Amino acid sequence: MPTIPTSRQSDVATLVNQLDSTGYTWADTRNAATATGPSSLIPQTTAARAYKITGGRGNYWVIQRPAFGFDFSGVSGTITSMTLGLYKGTTASIMSNIIVVKNSNTWSTAPANDDYDVDLSTPYSSAFTLNSSGGLGDLKSVTLNSTAMSDAVGNSDFNISVVDKNNDYDNVAPTGITLGQSTFYLYDVNYYPRIEYTAVTGYGNTVAGVVSANIGKVTGVATANVDKVIGVQ
């Protein structure tokens, strides 16, 4: 299958929003239009996180959303399968659930603070963990759904975020720090996110508005030469 790496390796960041929990609510942190800052762009692993700090280090809500983009401008037709590949950055035995969501923002060089505001109402995958089998740097595949496949075609700014599922996505205020994050490589010369996809064009997609799967057979005629299917309006 063709593979698309992150559109430019500088087009990645982890957007972190940390607010004082004595003055701000969980909703303030989750629904903020901007983050308090993106992480620096250096070879690194990252994780989608949502937790609360209480104690000697202060009292804070913290949400962390890795964001990255892909250039699908050269892809046409219909994408029939698509997977996101993430390289494991941890060998923890207990890992939290994460999920891929739409990121409607665009950026010219790298995600900025205001790219924290992602589309939590549009999931691009089911919940998943980067399971504990295998070692650091092992490539794990996440199946992306039909919404992601539709949004990707011909899009030079197909941007996504990976977010914590149990607290951030489900909107459940955390009570403490959750260990065992699903950590993966975000920015590294070898281990960076990529998408593999399969696409079809022409007859492989539709004939006169009929999905090819619903056509029993066309005898003795090359599919490239099929102009119409008789009896189908």
- How far apart are alpha carbons 145 and 82 in whole angstroms? 8
Structure confidence at residue 160 (pLDDT): 94
Q: Which of 168, 148, 162, 164 is nearest to 193 (CA)?
A: 162
- How far apart are alpha carbons 201 and 213 in whole angstroms? 14
Q: Which of 158, 42, 148, 144 is nearest to 85 (CA)?
A: 144
Is residue 106 classed as helix, strand or coil in its secondary structure? Answer: coil
Structure confidence at residue 208 (pLDDT): 47
The CA–CA distances, whole Å, from 55 to 50, 173, 177 equal 17, 17, 12
Q: Over the stretch 142-166, which tens digit does the pLDDT of each residue have?
A: 999 999 999 999 998 899 999 999 9
Averaged in consecutive runs of 10 residues, what is the pLDDT profile of the chain (233 residues)? Answer: 62 90 96 88 81 87 92 91 91 80 86 93 94 82 96 92 95 82 82 91 53 53 53 46
The model's pTM = 0.82
CB atoms within 10 A of CB 138: 15
- How far apart are alpha carbons 36 and 8 in whole angstroms? 24
Q: Over the stretch 8-46, which tens digit does the pLDDT of each residue have?
A: 556 788 999 999 999 999 999 999 999 998 876 666 888
- How far apart are alpha carbons 44 and 115 in whole angstroms? 20
- Strands (E) across 88-223 are located at 98-102, 119-123, 139-143, 158-164, 184-187, 194-200, 206-207, 210-211
Structure confidence at residue 166 (pLDDT): 92
Q: Which of 158, 193, 171, 182 is nearest to 5 (CA)?
A: 193
